[in-house]
Amino acid sequence: MAYLIVTYDIGEDRVNKVRKILKKYFTWVQNSVFEGDITEGKLMKCRLELEQVINKEEDSIYFYSLENRLNYRKTVMGVEKELTGNIL
Amino acid sequence: MGRPYYIFSNGRIKRKENTVYIENENGDKKAIPVEDIDTIHLYGEVDLNTKLLNFLSQQNKIVHVYNYYGFYAGSFMPRDRNVSGELTVRQVEHYLDPERRFFIAFSFVEGAMFHMIRNLREYKDTLEFQEKIKTELANASETKSINELMGCEGRARDAYYQAFNTILNNGFSIEKREKRPPGNPVNALISFANSMIYSTVLSEIYHTQLNPTISYLHEPRERRYSLSLDIAEIFKPLIADPVIFKLVNNNMIRLEDFDEDVNCCYMNETGRKKFLKEFDQKLTTTIKHRKLKRNVSYRTLIRLECYKLIKHLIGDELYTPFKAWW
């Protein structure tokens, strides 16, 4: 398990496909930013799905991983758009 | 393995863009990553349609539903993929043979009492109750029938709940355990905690081949998943009760978090949220497993308990109840 922050920059005609894939695995936090806990296997699966749709010449997706959830602290200025908790 | 999601808001949950969306009364939408879901617990008044159920079934996710008072009402279980006729036959075999049934039933009681004593050890002035439980444990090993065993278990549990009065501060106390309906805040807390343990255990049983209706300590009857009651015995004092002690003694939960009516008392939404936050944290806490030599969470421990039971039933390895060693 690792905690990941994913950001992406994708051409307009593909961006929605990428967003939809990422949405299955991570919680949406901001435009072009997702984050969440994920297992290694699921991450692989997610990356494979992404590879199918992106154009490797133009698009980029960054994965920032934190080995441990406890090593991460998030502070927000302004509006917190989305909460990542599981009690809704 | 995903996380359980607890939905309190009223509104609608639906399938959209291959994931799950919840939409509350004000029309705010939120996407839940489907791969991150293990189970969904519904507390609010939620609408859903077959499209969602089909999707969840495809993804093998379980939905538990609770009524207005937070009591477990039922579950939506996807088509069972892990069926094993052989194991069911073995489960029944062990139930029908009084000696073999007693062995398993006693193991559950032993595990439960071990953890009760372990909980009490943390607090002072509980020695007398610990002794009572120990005597009952000794009595239990002498008994011959399940009924007598249940009697010992009940007396031990009485002593255990009496000890709650010494443990709990901040104006919380329990005269006697009352259910249906719980009469005071402590009873309400215990009832809610237990129902959470039952559904958690049930989710874990469901991930294995065990048949949740065939049980050993509790009499398997219609209309209930009694095996989850059996296995929950071991985990109630290990997981649920420490959460109760923490919430009450650190003044995290207060008397305002309960709604009292004529002879009944229930936790309200803020109370339930507070409890679930701690409960969820507890379930994800990991410990180093001695045999597996890796970190496992409390939730995984429940799953492992199911696997141990399977091994026992198919004659692979003798079942010994889980006993916390730390």
pLDDT digits (tens, 9 = 90+) for B19-39: 888 888 887 888 888 888 888
As beta bridge partners, residue A33 has A7, A30
| B203, part of any domain | yes
| pLDDT score of B310 more than 80 | yes
Say yes or no: B124 and B270 in one domain.
yes
CATH number of domain containing B239: 1.20.120.920
CA nearest to A41 within chain B: B1
| Confidence band, pLDDT 50/70/90 cuts, at residue A76 | confident
| Domain membership of residue B299 as a residue range | 85-313
The answer to the question of whether B86 is labelled as a binding residue is no
Of the candidates A27, A39, A87, the beta carbon closest to that of B33 is on A27
| pLDDT score of B80 more than 80 | no
| Structure confidence at residue A7 (pLDDT) | 92
Amino acid at B59: Q
| Confidence band, pLDDT 50/70/90 cuts, at residue B9 | confident
| B78, part of any domain | no
| B104, part of any domain | yes
| Structure confidence at residue A82 (pLDDT) | 65
- What sign for the dihedral angle of Cα B172, B176, B179, B182? negative
| Structure confidence at residue B180 (pLDDT) | 72
| pLDDT score of B286 more than 80 | yes
| Confidence band, pLDDT 50/70/90 cuts, at residue B221 | low
- Measured CA distances, B114 to B86, B151, B154, B233 (Å): 32, 17, 14, 11
Q: Following DSSP, what letter does each residue of B61-110 receive, concatenated?
A: -EEEEE-TTS-EEEEE--------HHHHHHHHHHHHSHHHHHHHHHHHHH
Say yes or no: B159 and B275 in one domain.
yes
CA nearest to A19 within chain B: B17
| Structure confidence at residue A62 (pLDDT) | 92
Mean residue pLDDT across chain B: 82
Say yes or no: B28 and B110 in one domain.
no
For residue B118 the two structure tokens come to 């372990």
| Structure confidence at residue B311 (pLDDT) | 87
For residue B276, give the DSSP letter.
H
| B292, part of any domain | yes
Cβ neighbours around B111 below 10 Å, total: 22
Say yes or no: B159 and B259 in one domain.
yes
| Confidence band, pLDDT 50/70/90 cuts, at residue B81 | low
> Is the model more confident about A61 or about B292?
A61
| Structure confidence at residue B191 (pLDDT) | 84
**Contact by Cβ (8 Å): B28, A17:** no
For residue B219, give the DSSP letter.
P
Question: Cβ-count burial of B21 within 10 angstroms (0-12 exposed, 13-18 middle, 19+ buried)?
Answer: middle
| pLDDT score of B222 more than 60 | no
Region B10-14: what's the mean pLDDT?
A: 87
Q: Among B36, B66, B96, where does a domain finish? A: B66
CA nearest to B38 within chain A: A86
| Structure confidence at residue B261 (pLDDT) | 76
| Confidence band, pLDDT 50/70/90 cuts, at residue A40 | confident
Say yes or no: B194 and B267 in one domain.
yes
Closest CA to A83 of B22, B226, B56: B22
For residue B170, give the DSSP letter.
T
Region B125-137: what's the mean pLDDT?
A: 79
| Confidence band, pLDDT 50/70/90 cuts, at residue B85 | confident
Closest CA to A36 of A60, A9, A10, A65: A65
| pLDDT score of B195 more than 70 | yes
Q: Omega before B181 cis (within 30°)? A: yes
Phi and psi, residue A81, nearest 5°:
-75, -40
Contact yes or no for A86 and B18 at CB 8 A: no
Region B183-187: what's the mean pLDDT?
A: 80
Say yes or no: B39 and B146 in one domain.
no
- Measured CA distances, A65 to A20, A61, B258 (Å): 20, 13, 41
- Determine if residue B253 is left, alpha or beta; phi over 0 gives left, psi from -120 to 50 gives alpha, anything else beta: beta
Distance CA B108, CA B231 (A): 7
Q: Closest approach of chain A CAs to the CA of B50, in angstroms?
A: 20
Contact yes or no for B33 and A82 at CB 8 A: no
Distance CA B20, CA B202 (A): 23
Contact yes or no for B19 and A88 at CB 8 A: no
| pLDDT score of B223 more than 70 | no
As beta bridge partners, residue B108 has none
Distance CA B130, CA B195 (A): 25
Q: How far apart are the first and last CA of chain B?
A: 25
| pLDDT score of B176 more than 80 | no
| pLDDT score of B1 more than 70 | no
Q: Which residues of B touch A82 (CB under 8 A)?
A: 30
Say yes or no: B43 and B107 in one domain.
no
Say yes or no: B153 and B43 in one domain.
no
Say yes or no: B115 and B209 in one domain.
yes
| pLDDT score of B132 more than 60 | yes
- Measured CA distances, B51 to B16, B77, B84, B240 (Å): 10, 15, 28, 35
Contact yes or no for A38 and B35 at CB 8 A: yes
The answer to the question of whether B41 is labelled as a binding residue is no
CATH for A2-68 is 3.30.70.240
Say yes or no: B91 and B60 in one domain.
no
> Is the model more confident about B256 or about A33?
A33
Region B125-135: what's the mean pLDDT?
A: 79
Region B75-104: what's the mean pLDDT?
A: 79
What b/e string do you get for B285-300 counting C-beta neighbours within 10 Å, with b at 16 or more?
eeeeeeeeeeeeebbb
Helical spans, DSSP H, in B182-268: 185-206, 226-235, 241-249
Say yes or no: B231 and B165 in one domain.
yes
**Percent above pLDDT 90 for chain B:** 0
For residue B269 the two structure tokens come to 């939404």
* Total count of domains within chain B: 2
Say yes or no: B144 and B282 in one domain.
yes
Contact yes or no for A86 and B5 at CB 8 A: yes
Distance CA B193, CA B278 (A): 11
Residue with tokens 């507890």: B282
Q: Among B34, B66, B98, where does a domain finish? A: B66
| B324, part of any domain | no
Pairing between β-strand B258-261 and β-strand B72-76 as defined by DSSP bridges: unpaired
